[in-house]
Each structure stands twice: as C-alpha cells, then as structure tokens.
Amino acid sequence: MTDLAGPVAVIGTGLLGTSVALACRASGLDVLLDDLSAEHLRTATGLGAGRPLRAEDRPRLVVVATPPRHLGEAVAAALSDHPDAFVTDVGSVKAAPLRVVVDVDGVDRYVGSHPMAGSERSGPLAASAALFDGRPWAVTPHAAARPDAIEAITRLARVCGAVPVVLDPEDHDLAVARTSHLPHLAAVLVAGRLAGAPSAHLALSGQGVRDVTRVAASDPVMWQQILGANSAAVLGLLGEVQKDLARLIEAVAGGDDDALGDILARGNAGTAAIPGKHGGPSTPTASVFVSVPDHPGELARLFGDAGDIGVNIEDVHIDHDPGRPVGLTELVVEAARADHLLEALESRGWTTHR
Amino acid sequence: MTDLAGPVAVIGTGLLGTSVALACRASGLDVLLDDLSAEHLRTATGLGAGRPLRAEDRPRLVVVATPPRHLGEAVAAALSDHPDAFVTDVGSVKAAPLRVVVDVDGVDRYVGSHPMAGSERSGPLAASAALFDGRPWAVTPHAAARPDAIEAITRLARVCGAVPVVLDPEDHDLAVARTSHLPHLAAVLVAGRLAGAPSAHLALSGQGVRDVTRVAASDPVMWQQILGANSAAVLGLLGEVQKDLARLIEAVAGGDDDALGDILARGNAGTAAIPGKHGGPSTPTASVFVSVPDHPGELARLFGDAGDIGVNIEDVHIDHDPGRPVGLTELVVEAARADHLLEALESRGWTTHR
C-alpha cells in the first residue's frame, strides 16, 4: 500500500526509532538500523525492526531518532553521510535542531517531524508498530526544504498510521508549548502542592485532581531536555500564565465576581476549542454514571450491555473509589443518546445516574 | 439496615438535596422536603424523594442543601425552626457558614458536611440515590459539636453510600482548596491559553491536555460562589503556586537543570501521594494500549476478552482520535499482570502495545 521509497535508515533504536522501523517493516519496506548502543541495535534487529546499516548502504530516507540533546548534530551527520537521502528527525522540538543544520550542505533534503506519541517506558523493547496509530504527526518544513522531501516525510507519517499535520518549525514549537509543555508544567505545579499534604486532605481527592495531575508522573530527565530545547516558547506562555494568575489572585482577593467570571468563562471557551474526535468539531456529549462491582467481568458485562443497546461510548472514566469494592464508571456518549442509554441500562439492572 | 433515626428533613431540593432524600428513602427513612421553589418541591416529591415538610413535623435530622450563598443563615434558621433536630449542610466550603452560626442557640446540634460528588447538571431531575456511591463525604465537627450530632451525620453519609472522612472545618477548607479548587483553577488557566489559539496548534492536542483541562468546562457561576466562600484557603495556595511558578520560570530561563529537576521530581511525588483505590497505598500499575475500531460493540468485545483473561481493569482512557475511525484505548492494570494481558489480547487478534 505504501508509495514511500526505501530503504529507510533509522538512526537511534529507542522507543520511537524502533517503532518507526517496525511500522516501515510492516509496510514491506527495507529498514536499516544504527545505534551507538550495540545492545539496543541487537534488540531492535532481534525484534525484526530491520538489519544493521552498513557503509555501502544507500538509504532513500533517514530517520534520526536520537535523544533531544545534540539532535541537530545528528541530523547534520546524516545529511553528510547519505547525500542521496531525505532526512527527518522525530524530536519533540523543531526550531533548535534546525538552527544547527540551516547552513549545512544539503539542508534542502531535511524536513523535521514530531509524532505526538510516547510511553512511560523507553528503549526498543517498549516499541510497537502501532505506537503512532491515529496520532497526530507534525511535519515541519523550513523555507528551503524541497517539495519532494516534504512529500516523503508526510508519507512516512502515513506509513506509520499517523495523521500528518504540516506546520512550520517555529509554529510547531509554539503549538507544543501550548498543548503539551504548559499543561505538563501546570500539572507539575498542582501535583507539587500535593506532595507532603496531610493524608486526611488527600483522602478528599476526587477524579478532578487525578485527571489534572496525571501527566506529572512522567520522567523528569526527559522533560528537562524537552523544556530546555523549547525554552523560548515555554517562557512566553509561562509569562502569560503568570499575568493570568496575578489577575486571578486579584479577582479572588478583591471578591471581584465579574473579573473571576471572565477568567472562568475563558476556561470554558478553551476546553471547547480542543478539536473533537476524528478532527471534526466537538459533538456535544453527556455522561452517564454507573456503579460497577470492582472485579473482572463486570466492566465487560457493562460494555456488552451498552453495545447491545447500540450506543457508542466516546470516552470512559473509572473513578478510583477510596472505600469500597464498587467503581463508579462514567460513560461519555453523544448527548442525544444519553437518556436512552441510561434508561436501557437501568432496565437491565444497573444502578445509574447522570 | 440503617441505624439513623428519622424523619429526615431536606431543605433545598436541587441536585444534592434531592439525591440525599432519595438515598434516605431507599433506606426506608421518612423524608420531609422544603424548597422556596414550589416547582422544585413538586418535582422532588414526584420523584418519590419525600413529602412536603409541614409546620407540625418534628424531624430528627435536618439537611440544609441550599446554594452556597446565605448557607449560614439557612443553617441558623434550621436550628431555630427545629429545636430537637441535628442539623447539617452539604455545602462545598465549611468555615464560612460556621462563622455565621457559631453564636446561635443550639449550635452544638450542628455539624457541617460535604459529599465529594456532583454533576455538570443541576436541579432535582438530575438527582439520584446513587450519586454518593463510594465517594468521600467530609464530616466537619466544630469544637462545640455534640458527639451524638457527629455520629448522626456520619451515619447519614453511610446511608447515602458514601465514605465518611472526619476533619475540622478549617482543615476541610484547606483540603478542598488543595485537592479541588487549585486543580480547577490550574485547569482554567491552561484552558484559557487554548481559547483563540490557531487551529493548526490545537490539532496537536493529545490526551494530556484533554485530561488537564477537563474540569475547566464546569459552570462559572457555581465556581464564583465556591471560590468566594473559600477565598482565604484558595489565596494561600495560589500564593504558593505563584512562588513555585516564579522559580520554574527562573529555572527554565536560566537553563538550571538541577532546579528544574527538583520541581519535576516534586510533581512525581505529588501524583504518588494521591491515595490508591480502596483507600490503600497505590499499587503499581502499567498501561496496555489497544487499537479499537470506533463503533458499538468493539469495546464490549475488548472488555469481554479482558474479563475472560481474568485481569482486572483499574482504569480506562480512550484517546480521542483526530483522524481515523479507530480509538486507542489505554487499559490500566496491576503492573504484574500487564504482560499477561498484552500477550493474551494479542493471541485473540487485538493490536496492542505498551
């Protein structure tokens, strides 16, 4: 099915590189692997991700998947080592590595990219051909990039099952600062205020605080590098949030309901701005809550019943229940179908509410 | 099963009041209802939540479930109208109403409380006897409260299916500032920075930003009242976060990896401090990701298979997929069971990864 021309060389066989390699292999492409770590390379080839890159190989596409630090240098080396190949990288920031390569010979063959996927695990053993399935994959051409290079990287994203989103490198870095780095840091600050709190306080934790802080559990070392490489965009947004926070404090301290209402309403508007499923506008959803006994098989029975009823579940949240072996499960469904689901579940003996 | 003595009077038949009334009725208690809104009262009695309160009634327990503003006055009126009754309220802040009633005759019969449950909907039609099922319910005795009053309110929480958590009113307000009001405001500030962002930026939104901002979709008017009533505790925490944010900005601007690492590690510690399911310490969990076609019945099939495999699902997240009719479903399971689940699902034809 692929019209991407191989062989594809993957430099760096960690989680992302090996996953790209496996996805390319699954599309029948010849894949060549390289890594400073002989052990990673052996593991990746053992997984069927490709064969070791040799000096005489002539890849048509090189994917640089080395750690964020020194990414630009690795891209420059790939452009010089493989003068016939298009080159991309899969790092999570894009302007910083471009600055390193912008004056390098052959930079017109380079187009950066960034798959919006990851895992709390790392290394080739955590890799999967399905890692990028349905995820956005930013493709970030610079001004001098060749159109056929852009086309090749866009095809790579599709071969990996991802959805290409084309935007320029600076724009990309602003976008991830807003949709990834800022939410991450806000979660870290809120979670930081939970550390050391009395256990009687923490006992009142509901689903809200769990959702807000979930991403703060990620690897600090990786985030040091990401934030370091995108510090300008992150600092711009943190400065805006600092002003918003000062206004919020002033509104709460002064009992200024109008100002507070404006801030809260802007939050409403922001949640509504996140694109809906399948990239379309958000369809209104509603939640149906169901009490589910906390042992294997009960969720299956619930989803089986929902399937029989014919209502599609858009999202699910299971409330961690601090005191009893019953989970409160929130089924998010199209708003127009919620009443039907609720009544049909009740008629099958489930305890529900909205 | 209840050893709570009725009749129970519920003042205010909105979502919370009517849900308390329905839960008490389900335990066989006599329930008396009152509301300034004749329509709400008619709806609640029509739902079987109880009968209208008459002047000659002698409730043993009065539950004040009126809006946050003027809650103290409503508690004082209940103490004076019903001189033989214990009185509680279900408001989301506790020190402010207590200040209004602390010098009122019979205040020793009053014990505040706060069920950690709600809904994006309001009014008696949204009510349910199951609303409090398994949720924490704060019981907040003041210094002069009678032990039998504390006991009665604790029993009310249990009758409603909730898990009583006893702490004093100031402590409660600090606890919810930390576990509810601060996370809410952080979500609002992050979401506020999404409002008006270019759609190409928002197209890169993943599950992280959705989780962090979800609660920011709530009703601004309700949150104005909650924040107004708990402004001291909220301002204390916002001040701390303001200092943390300044330190964060300094660390990012100065490229100070040690300082940034400390902040990120403190976030790790905070997420680990949230109590696990069933109030015990958090058990280590791991995620298994599965590609699931986005139509009715497929999730049922997945949960059916997981049930057959015998692995209990602790939590579920469905990634909203911007480009294709396949959902990426994250199954959170006990870490020791993850590999078994993954292999068993693969053997049944599911596309998985970790």
* Interface check A328 vs B, CB under 8 A: yes
- Strand order through the sheet with A61-64: A51-52, A31-34, A8-11, A61-64, A86-89
Say how many CB pairs under 8 Å bridge A and B. 509
Q: How far apart are alpha carbons A201 and B310 in whole angstroms?
A: 35
Q: What is the pLDDT of residue B276?
A: 67
Nearest-Cα residue of chain B relative to residue A135 = B321
Is the pLDDT at A207 greater than 70? The verdict is: yes
Q: What is the pLDDT of residue A278?
A: 43
Q: Which residues 30-59 of B are in CB contact (within 8 Å) with A?
A: none
A46-A48-A49-A50 Cα dihedral, nearest 10 degrees: 90
Q: What is the pLDDT of residue B263?
A: 97
B94-118 average pLDDT score: 93
Question: How far A20 CA sits from the closest chain B CA (Å)?
Answer: 13
Strand ranges (DSSP E) for B111-187? Answer: 112-115, 136-140, 163-166
* Cα four-point dihedral sign A173, A273, A211, A338: negative
Question: How far A214 CA sits from the closest chain B CA (Å)?
Answer: 7
Nearest-Cα residue of chain B relative to residue A140 = B200
Contact yes or no for B313 and A307 at CB 8 A: no
pLDDT confidence band for B1 (50 / 70 / 90): very low
Q: How far apart are alpha carbons B352 and B72 in whole angstroms?
A: 55
pLDDT confidence band for A276 (50 / 70 / 90): low
Chosen from A189, A317, A318 to mutate, greatest number of chain B CBs within 10 A: A189
Q: Which residues 185-214 of B are in CB contact (within 8 Å) with A?
A: 185-206, 208-214
Output the six-digit token pair for A338.
């919620």
A309-318 average pLDDT score: 76
From B86, B99, B96, select the one nearest B157 (Cα to Cα): B86
Q: Which residues 98-137 of A are in CB contact (within 8 Å) with B?
A: 116, 119-121, 126-131, 133-136
pLDDT tens-place string over residues B232-285: 999 999 999 999 999 999 999 999 999 999 999 999 999 999 886 444 445 677
* Interface check B255 vs A, CB under 8 A: yes
Residues with Cβ within 8 Å of residue B300, at least 6 apart in sequence: A300, A303, A304, A306, A307, A308
Residue A144 Cα to chain centre, angstroms: 28
- Of the ranges A266-270, B65-69, B303-307, B323-327, which is most confident? A266-270
Q: What is the pLDDT of residue A326?
A: 63
Q: What is the pLDDT of residue B324?
A: 54
The CATH code of domain A173-273 reads: 1.10.3660.10
Residue B39 CB coordination number (10 Å): 11
Q: Which residues 162-181 of A are in CB contact (within 8 Å) with B?
A: 162-163, 165, 167, 171-172, 174-176, 178-180
Is the pLDDT at A33 greater than 90? The verdict is: yes
**Omega into A7 within 30° of 0, i.e. cis?**
yes
Q: What is the pLDDT of residue A174?
A: 95
* Interface check A144 vs B, CB under 8 A: no
Q: What DSSP string describes A278-293?
A: GGSPPPPEEEEEEEEE
Q: Answer yes or no: are the C-beta atoms of B243 and B198 closer than 8 Å.
A: no
Question: How far B84 CA sits from the closest chain A CA (Å)?
Answer: 31
Q: Which residues 304-323 of A are in CB contact (within 8 Å) with B?
A: 304, 306-308, 310-323
Lowest mean pLDDT among A132-136, A151-155, A173-177, B297-301: B297-301
Q: Please state the domain extents for chain B.
A: 8-167, 173-273, 285-353
Q: How far apart are alpha carbons B250 and A256 in whole angstroms?
A: 30
Is the pLDDT at A325 greater than 60? The verdict is: no
Contact yes or no for A303 and B300 at CB 8 A: yes
Is the pLDDT at A317 greater than 80? The verdict is: no
From A296, A142, A227, select the one nearest B248 (Cα to Cα): A227
Contact yes or no for B228 and A273 at CB 8 A: no
Contact yes or no for B275 and A202 at CB 8 A: yes
pLDDT confidence band for A283 (50 / 70 / 90): low
Chosen from B222, B303, B339 to mutate, greatest number of chain A CBs within 10 A: B303
pLDDT confidence band for B9 (50 / 70 / 90): very high
Q: What is the pLDDT of residue B278?
A: 43
Pick A320 or B177 by higher pLDDT: B177
- Beta bridge partners, A113, equal A139
Question: How far B196 CA sits from the closest chain A CA (Å)?
Answer: 8
Nearest-Cα residue of chain B relative to residue A304 = B300
B137-152 average pLDDT score: 96
Residues of A in contact with B260 (CB under 8 A): 223-224, 227-228
The bridge status of strand A112-115 relative to strand A136-140 is: antiparallel
Residues in chain A: 354
Q: Which helix (H) or strand (E) holds A63?
A: strand A61-64
Residues of B in contact with A172 (CB under 8 A): 204
Contact yes or no for A178 and B163 at CB 8 A: no
pLDDT tens-place string over residues B74-84: 999 999 999 99
* Interface check A335 vs B, CB under 8 A: no
pLDDT tens-place string over residues B186-197: 999 999 999 999
Q: What is the pLDDT of residue A113?
A: 97
Q: What is the pLDDT of residue B170?
A: 94
pLDDT confidence band for B298 (50 / 70 / 90): confident
Is the pLDDT at A23 greater than 60? The verdict is: yes
Chosen from A178, A218, A230 to mutate, greatest number of chain B CBs within 10 A: A178
Contact yes or no for B183 and A190 at CB 8 A: yes
Residues of A in contact with B128 (CB under 8 A): 289, 352-354
Is the pLDDT at B163 greater than 80? The verdict is: yes
Nearest-Cα residue of chain A relative to residue B297 = A307
Instruction: Give domain A8-167's CATH number out of 3.40.1190.20, 3.10.129.10, 3.40.50.720, 3.40.50.300.
Output: 3.40.50.720
* Interface check B74 vs A, CB under 8 A: no
Is the pLDDT at B94 greater than 70? The verdict is: yes
Residues of A in contact with B175 (CB under 8 A): 197-198, 200-204
pLDDT tens-place string over residues A134-166: 888 999 999 999 999 999 999 999 999 998 999
pLDDT confidence band for A212 (50 / 70 / 90): very high
Question: How far B83 CA sits from the closest chain A CA (Å)?
Answer: 32
Contact yes or no for A194 and B178 at CB 8 A: yes
Q: What is the pLDDT of residue A277?
A: 47
Q: What is the largest CA-CA distance in chain B?
A: 72
pLDDT confidence band for A280 (50 / 70 / 90): very low
Residues of B in contact with A229 (CB under 8 A): none
Q: What is the pLDDT of residue B249?
A: 98
Please tell me the CATH superfamily of domain B285-353, with its number.
Answer: ACT domain (3.30.70.260)
- Strand order through the sheet with A326-334: A313-319, A326-334, A285-293, A352-353
Contact yes or no for A183 and B240 at CB 8 A: no
* Interface check A243 vs B, CB under 8 A: no
Contact yes or no for B264 and A188 at CB 8 A: yes
* Interface check B184 vs A, CB under 8 A: yes
pLDDT above 90 coverage of chain A, percent: 60
Lowest mean pLDDT among A233-242, B23-32, B131-140: B131-140
**Omega into A325 within 30° of 0, i.e. cis?**
no
Q: What is the pLDDT of residue B120?
A: 53
Contact yes or no for A273 and B202 at CB 8 A: yes
